[in-house]
Homo-oligomer: A and B are copies of this chain.
Amino acid sequence: MDYIFSDKISSLQPSAIREILKATAGGDVIPFAAGNPAPEAFPIKEVEAVAADIFKNKPIRALQYGVTEGYRPLLDRLKDYVKNKDNMGKSFDSMIITSGAQQVMDLATKVLCNEGDTIICESPSFIGSLNCFRSYNCYLRGVDVEADGINIEELERALQEEENVRFIYVIPNFQNPSGATMSLEKRKAVYELAKKYNTLILEDNPYGELRVSGQDLPNIKSMDEDGLVIYAGSFSKILAPGIRVGFALAPDEIIGKMTVGKQASDVHTPVFSQMLVNQWMADYDLGAHIEKLKAIYSKKLNLMCDLIDSELNHLFTYNRPQGGLFVWCLLPDGVNMPGFVKAAAERGVALVPGSAFLVDQSEETQAVRLNFSTPTDDKIVEGIDILRGLSHCFI
């Protein structure tokens, strides 16, 4: 039978990163591609203890259906956590637990966008979110990302020129893939522009707690006096991605619609995953754990960047990120970027071509994205050395 697929899925390509991940699963590849947490970042003894306690003392609660909004003790704890830590959450806000932060993007798009509506995105941006928006047949308008975040003039021009802009999608902290951190001035400017042009902001913050240098900046959500910001949080990078727990903090009315959407998507996020996060936060010191993660990632980030500085400074131009998991490197003009990525893969180093992250994927780019959280320190050294050996063919 010749299957007919929907317009929204026909044009969508599998995520380049997930496909690279699949191709290299279990292989001997040096993994500079995916954004997996370092294995040593998982609190495995703590998780083992919490899981044992849950299945011993509350097995029915963990195995039975839950409500769509999320496990109530976790919702209560998280609302307090984001209020106390980041001053987020007003009386008009509510929260829903999602199946990873990816589902925040999915539900926000589902409830806010008709086909053909516009979403303004940083370009480059996280491929998973871009593909999600595309899967609703939305029109994506890209705005350049500079070293201090989104280009504000371009953003205002986009807001003036585009119709039916339903939201502006931004990753202010250690943006994926550019590594850029949006300045305080730009955070305020993005908020004011959303207000001026009567649109919403989808603020995605998966890496915010993983700052390894510089000063923490307030999230845009903390400035939200008008109910304009949908904030997406995640436990993928600070606890574990495999459990798929994220959350949205947004105005009541939006969370209500997202709840209806989630009922139709997957009913609820696994209860055990939610109980695990809740009890782990109750029993252990999240702050101390995050300090441990920062030490791990600071070491890896600086190892990779120092090696790029010493071994690849003729090849890569980049800004050292203040956190996150990625280094965004530009090859010199004249170097064939796809050819370089292919040659690296043939020598066992998996990189992601920068084009994967562009709103317009046919646009030319010299960028490649390197991840430093997944490889061991030895593999970082080995991988950079392979790229150095390879670079002579390209310069």
- The listed residue with most B CB atoms (<10 A of its CB), out of A37, A56, A59, is A59
Q: Which residues of B contact A64 (CB under 8 A)?
A: 36-37, 39, 42, 240-242
Q: Which residues of B contact A103 (CB under 8 A)?
A: 265-266
Q: Are B68 and A18 in contact (CB under 8 A)?
A: yes
Q: Are A67 and B25 in contact (CB under 8 A)?
A: yes
Q: Which residues of B contact A271 (CB under 8 A)?
A: 242-243
The oligomer's copy count stands at: 2
The 8 A CB mask of A29-45 against B (1 = contact, 0 = none) is 00000101101001010
- The listed residue with most B CB atoms (<10 A of its CB), out of A5, A7, A56, is A5
CA A44 to CA B102, docked complex, whole Å:
31
CA A9 to CA B132, docked complex, whole Å:
17
A87 at the interface (CB under 8 A from B): no
The 8 A CB mask of A249-287 against B (1 = contact, 0 = none) is 001011001011101111111111100000000000000
A55 at the interface (CB under 8 A from B): yes
Q: Which residues of B contact A111 (CB under 8 A)?
A: 5-6, 9
Tell me the chain A residues, 92-114 only, with Cβ under 8 Å from chain B: 98-100, 102-103, 106, 110-114
Q: Are B67 and A243 in contact (CB under 8 A)?
A: no
Partner pick for A63 among B44, B56, B115, B200, CB 8 A cutoff:
B44
CA A114 to CA B264, docked complex, whole Å:
17
Taking residues whose C-beta sits less than 8 angstroms from the other chain, chain A's interface range is 35 or more
CA A265 to CA B98, docked complex, whole Å:
11
Partner pick for A51 among B52, B65, B241, B259, CB 8 A cutoff:
B52
Q: Which residues of B contact A102 (CB under 8 A)?
A: 264-267
Q: Are B21 and A99 in contact (CB under 8 A)?
A: no
Partner pick for A110 among B8, B21, B259, B267, CB 8 A cutoff:
B8
Given A65-B34, A128-B264, A266-B266: A110 touches B9 (CB 8 Å cut-off): yes
Nearest Cβ distance between residue A388 and chain B, in whole angstroms? 29
CA A99 to CA B269, docked complex, whole Å:
8
A1 at the interface (CB under 8 A from B): yes
Q: Which residues of B contact A9 (CB under 8 A)?
A: 110-111, 257, 260-261
The 8 A CB mask of A64-104 against B (1 = contact, 0 = none) is 11111100000000000000000000000000001110110
Q: Are A18 and B263 in contact (CB under 8 A)?
A: yes
Q: Which residues of B contact A8 (CB under 8 A)?
A: 110, 114
Nearest Cβ distance between residue A245 and chain B, in whole angstroms? 9
Q: Are B6 and A110 in contact (CB under 8 A)?
A: yes
CA A63 to CA B237, docked complex, whole Å:
11
- Look across to chain B and name the residue whose beta carbon is closest to the beta carbon of A66: B242
Partner pick for A42 among B48, B60, B131, CB 8 A cutoff:
B60
Tell me the chain A residues, 103-152 only, with Cβ under 8 Å from chain B: 103, 106, 110-115, 117, 128, 131-132, 134-135
User: Which 8 residue pairs spanning A and B have beta carbons closest together?
Assistant: A63-B240, A242-B271, A44-B59, A48-B55, A99-B266, A132-B264, A135-B264, A9-B111
- A14-B260, A132-B265 given; name 8 further pairs at CB < 8 Å: A12-B264, A18-B67, A21-B67, A36-B64, A106-B266, A131-B263, A135-B261, A266-B266
30 interchain pairs, CB-CB under 8 A? A4-B166, A5-B112, A6-B111, A13-B260, A14-B259, A18-B67, A18-B267, A22-B67, A25-B67, A39-B60, A42-B63, A42-B64, A44-B60, A61-B242, A63-B241, A63-B242, A63-B243, A64-B241, A64-B242, A66-B242, A99-B270, A103-B265, A128-B267, A132-B264, A241-B267, A242-B270, A244-B267, A266-B266, A270-B273, A273-B273
